[in-house]
Structure 1
């Protein structure tokens, strides 16, 4: 089954992005509870690269497919799950990376949509909040994607968010998306 190509975010309106996000059909992994079978020998690096047995997975379609069966467990770990097996997968930071952003509107009427490295589209808002942490290498923004899983916002995309915050002049510095305000400062 061929997967659709990744969307060109710049060519889409936010209404089109919302429609595509709504149409994304994911397997019902939250209903699958097979027996734990072991380790997948896979990991997701901090930069979003997927590895199997130490080698990067070069086929984008495979990564996209695996991402649809990725689940975060109550203990904070990650697994790849099917109706008949569950395998651990190591995640160095966040399982997704927000690699592109589109902004429409201004101030409180702004909406921010993100394309992830897996092709998923997510619009920040109350159901998909942005949060910020301080890291050794500077601010580390995250976007809630689904099921307790987050996307690390790529540095270049973070700079776009910071520019919007500066332009808007909000105090504290932050951005609006879908009627929710996200301060750029880490939560205490």
Structure 2
């Protein structure tokens, strides 16, 4: 069955976005405790490209399938988890790249920041998916919590959209999403 990516983020309402997120059935990797531990011989480059044994994985459906199996432990190690194996995977920066952002309004009129990832996942920033800023004031790096400890780094155009939205609010560099406030300046 061929993979069909979800519609463009800008064309979705927040309710339609929630339906798209709910429709993606993810494996319950947090419930699996495989006994076999090994190395996947895979790497996710800082630019979001996936590699296996040095060769790039070019099929988006394969990347999407593998990305649904990712977790990150407390020590920062990324793993691909199946019911039978837990395989380490090298991640140069973040497991995902956020490639687009749109501001949506919820039923109460509150802003909701919706992000599309390079895996075509859709994530709405909020309590369960907070934004984190690292780096310096001169060279900030923005990250969005995805699932099971993994994060998405916002690419340049996406963090540009985020900063533009913050500036449009006329406040400091702070945004809100689903009632949560996120400062966009790294801690010194």
The secondary structure found in structure 2 opposite 1:161 is: helix
Residues 7, 119 of structure 1: 8 Å contact kept:
no
Query: Taking structure 2 as the reference length, what is the TM-score of the superposition?
Result: 0.91
Separation in structure 2 between the aligned mates of residue 170 and residue 54 of structure 1, nearest angstrom: 46
Residues 79, 86 of structure 2: 8 Å contact kept:
yes
Specify the alignment match of 2:56 in structure 1: 56
Specify the alignment match of 2:119 in structure 1: 118
Shift of 1:30: 0.8
Comparing 14-23 with 62-71, which one deviates more in the overlay? 14-23
The secondary structure found in structure 2 opposite 1:160 is: helix
Cα distance per residue 1:128-152 (max 9 Å; x no partner): 1111112597110000111111100
Q: CA RMSD in A?
A: 2.0
Separation in structure 1 between the aligned mates of residue 133 and residue 33 of structure 2, nearest angstrom: 33
> What is the aligned length?
186
Separation in structure 2 between the aligned mates of residue 36 and residue 48 of structure 1, nearest angstrom: 27
Shift of 1:187: 3.6
Specify the alignment match of 2:91 in structure 1: 91
Separation in structure 2 between the aligned mates of residue 136 and residue 47 of structure 1, nearest angstrom: 22
* Structure 1: gaps spanning 5 or more residues: none
Separation in structure 1 between the aligned mates of residue 187 and residue 16 of structure 2, nearest angstrom: 32
Separation in structure 1 between the aligned mates of residue 149 and residue 37 of structure 2, nearest angstrom: 22
Specify the alignment match of 1:4 in structure 2: 4
Residues 101, 114 of structure 2: 8 Å contact kept:
yes
Specify the alignment match of 1:142 in structure 2: 143
* Structure 2: gaps spanning 5 or more residues: none
Correspondence 1:169 to 2:170? yes
Going from structure 1 to structure 2, the CA distance change for 1:37 and 1:105 (only over 3 Å counts) comes to closer
